[in-house]
Amino acid sequence: MRVRNTLLAAVLVPMLAWAAPQPLDSVAVLVNDGIILDSEIQERLQSVKLKAIQAGQKLPSEQALRTQVIERLISESLQLQMAERMGLVISDTQLDQTLTNMAAEQKQNLDQFRASVEAKGGNYAAYREQIRHEITIGQVQRIQVQRRIQVSPQEIDTLVKLIKEQGLQTAEFHVGHILVDFANDENGARERAEKVMKLLNNGADFKNTALAASSGPKALEGGDWGFMNVNAMPTLFAEVVTDAKAGDIIGPIKGSAGFHIVKVFETRGIQTKEVAELSSRHILLKPSPILSEDMAQQMLTDFLAQVAAGEADFADLAEQHSDDPGSAARGGNLGWADPNMYVPAFRDTLNRLKPGEFSKPFRSSHGWHVVQLLEKRTTDATASVNSDRAYQLLFRRKFAEQAQSWQNEMRSNAYIEVLNNNS
């Protein structure tokens, strides 16, 4: 009998253990037709805590932190639901391109990047999907919020002036000056001033010309006023030099005593931005169910061979075959542009070429390309950079405000029920 009881116990114990209630994941929040699981909250809590420890930050209470995490997850859920209604899908190709760029920023390839994520205890597949969600949310926000933002030219101009004024507070200009006085003959003075200006534009030495022709207070010094801040120089100088750069000669300018000619010899303390611009042309083929990746690459290889043999014209091929409608009509010509405006694969390929050289077929996030570098130049982009900077500052400020308003509106129109906020 004792043997029988022992055998029965041996059978029942595992069965009872198997039948015992197992801890299951539970729904913590209802968000419209979606749900947030308690496991999602726990995972995000652990992630926040880990980042806080690494950054040496002090955390609030567990309950306060959980509430913050739930609020963030609700916001993300609403935005992802909006993306689904819009039919917005981030493809694997686009996701892989983003991850490749993230890896490149850390000087890694994609395999090394994956290994580094897993070495920190992360699940790469889950990490990959989290990045997909972040890209999706970013695109939804841009689409929904951007249409709510208006940045007027007047706002940009006002901010550009403020940026310029702040820069001019410390900027100094090395100024030269020639005064051709009226001498009771305004027309004659104008003619003399124009002759002086013509001589200077033809390469005459400014200081020698000032010694010979100027009636100004610094004539004996060759018209050289030295370095001056705009606040310390005569008003006429300040009005004309603020937009000038080294080497500029401005005039003749009519004043109360005669006609003035001003030269900027040098500047210091001024932030200028020179941009290397490239002129290029390309052919783009986008793979499709009809055109495979290999076929697209081979077609471009054939195009290059035809151009090299003189059997075809690149512009004609671009017009007939390129899937970039904007440039195809211009024979593939992309015009002058800062290469940094292009996607990384296109930018890097273009930067490696010499003027006149064609690339081999290469893949970017847009499709397969061949590109030819036509010319290079350097331009002073200070004015456009300041305008862009002003626009971006205004846009970011308004975007943050409008994004919050948009999310508040979504939340107020959504069904949200927190079922478990204490676990």
Fold classification of 29-148 (topology level): Triger factor/SurA peptide-binding fold (1.10.4030)
Q: Which residue has the higher pLDDT, 184 or 422?
A: 184
Per the rule left: phi > 0, alpha: psi between -120 and 50, beta: everything else, 238 is alpha
**Is the pLDDT at 169 greater than 70, yes or no?**
no
CATH architecture label of 275-380: Roll (3.10)
**Is the pLDDT at 314 greater than 80, yes or no?**
yes
Q: Which residue has the higher pLDDT, 371 or 257?
A: 371
**Is the pLDDT at 406 greater than 70, yes or no?**
yes
Ordered strands of the 416-418 beta sheet: 34-37, 27-31, 416-418
pLDDT, mean of residues 153-178: 78
Lowest mean pLDDT among 31-40, 155-164, 182-191, 351-360: 155-164
Determine the pLDDT at residue 372.
96
Q: Which residue has the higher pLDDT, 10 or 368?
A: 368
Q: What share of the chain is helix, strand, coil (3-state, %, to 5)?
A: 55, 20, 25
- Cα angle: 28, vertex 31, 34; to 5 degrees: 90
Determine the pLDDT at residue 20.
43
Q: Which residue has the higher pLDDT, 164 or 423?
A: 164
Determine the pLDDT at residue 17.
38
Determine the pLDDT at residue 166.
60
**Is the pLDDT at 16 greater than 50, yes or no?**
no
Most confident of 147-151, 223-227, 296-300: 296-300
Determine the pLDDT at residue 163.
67
Determine the pLDDT at residue 297.
93
**Residue ranges per domain, the chain?**
29-148, 171-268, 275-380
Cis-peptide into 344, omega within 30 deg: no
DSSP bridge partners of 375: 279
What's the pTM value of the predicted model, to 2 decimals?
Answer: 0.48
Determine the pLDDT at residue 391.
82
* Spatial contact of 172 and 269, defined as CB atoms under 8 Å apart: yes
Determine the pLDDT at residue 55.
76
Question: Percentage of the chain with pLDDT > 90?
Answer: 39
Structure confidence by residue, pLDDT tens digits, 40-97: 999 888 888 888 787 787 878 888 889 889 988 999 999 999 999 999 888 888 888 8
- Cα angle: 220, vertex 224, 227; to 5 degrees: 150
Most confident of 16-25, 135-144, 263-272, 353-362: 353-362
pLDDT, mean of residues 255-283: 84
**Is the pLDDT at 19 greater than 50, yes or no?**
no
Structure confidence by residue, pLDDT tens digits, 90-113: 888 888 888 988 888 888 999 999
**Is the pLDDT at 181 greater than 70, yes or no?**
yes
**Is the pLDDT at 170 greater than 70, yes or no?**
no
**Is the pLDDT at 213 greater than 70, yes or no?**
yes
Lowest mean pLDDT among 21-35, 277-291, 334-348: 21-35
* Spatial contact of 177 and 207, defined as CB atoms under 8 Å apart: no
pLDDT, mean of residues 346-362: 94
What the block records as the tokens of 207 is 């200081």
Quote the CA–CA distance of 257 and 271 in Å, as a whole number: 34
**Is the pLDDT at 18 greater than 90, yes or no?**
no
**Which CATH code fits 171-268?**
3.10.50.40
Domains 171-268 and 275-380 share a fold: yes
Average pLDDT score over the chain: 84
Structure confidence by residue, pLDDT tens digits, 130-148: 899 999 998 898 889 888 8
Determine the pLDDT at residue 3.
38
pLDDT, mean of residues 352-367: 93
DSSP class of residue 221?
Answer: G
**Is the pLDDT at 13 greater than 80, yes or no?**
no
- Please report which confidence band the pLDDT of residue 5 belongs to, taking 50, 70 and 90 as the band edges: very low
DSSP bridge partners of 376: 278
